[in-house]
Amino acid sequence: MSDPSSSSNTPTRTRDEVTEAHFMEARARLLDLAAFLDRLERASGSDDHRVRGLRAALPVLLEKDPARVAKILNLWSDPTTAPIEKADTKAASGVWPKIK
């Protein structure tokens, strides 16, 4: 594994201190996410793979796992291992298109 001892220089913090520093930012982002989902509900059509991926990630937020970000990034990642023959786009969409 990489060197977690690097965190020996990491200042220790209480939950209150972390909350004080970052709560309002997290609150605003959660409300933005809720507003995005509301906006989708008001629109016609069905969810594409990106929205399916977003919905699939939401339960991860409530897990007792300190690696939530990595878990979500892995959930959205292409799970295949071989190079593809040719790409039909240069851009990535944010979620593997074949996600269930």
Partner 1 sequence: MRYIEPHGHMVSRTTDDYQAMALAGCKAICEPAFWAGFDRKSADGFYDYFCQLTQHEPNRAAKYAMPHYAWLCINPKESEDMGLAKEVMAMIPEFLKAPTVLGIGEIGLNKNTRNELKIFEAHVELAVRHNQMILVHTPHLEDKRKGTQLILDALKANGKVQPGRVIIDHVEEHTMAAVLDQGYWAGITLYPESKASPQRAVDMIETISAQRVWLNSACDWGHSDPLSVPKAAMEMRRRGHSSAAIDRLIYGNPAEFLSQCPKFISPEA
Binding site for partner 1 (CB under 8 A): 1-4, 6-7, 9-11, 13, 21-22, 25, 66-67, 69-70, 73-74, 76-81, 83-87, 89-97
Nearer to partner 1, 44 or 79 (CB): 79
Nearest to 57 by CA among 31, 12, 96: 96
| 14 alpha carbon, distance to own chain's centre | 25
CA-to-CA separations, 29 to 40, 48, 64, 90, 93, in angstroms, rounded: 17, 22, 20, 29, 20
Nearer to partner 1, 42 or 82 (CB): 82
Nearer to partner 1, 42 or 69 (CB): 69
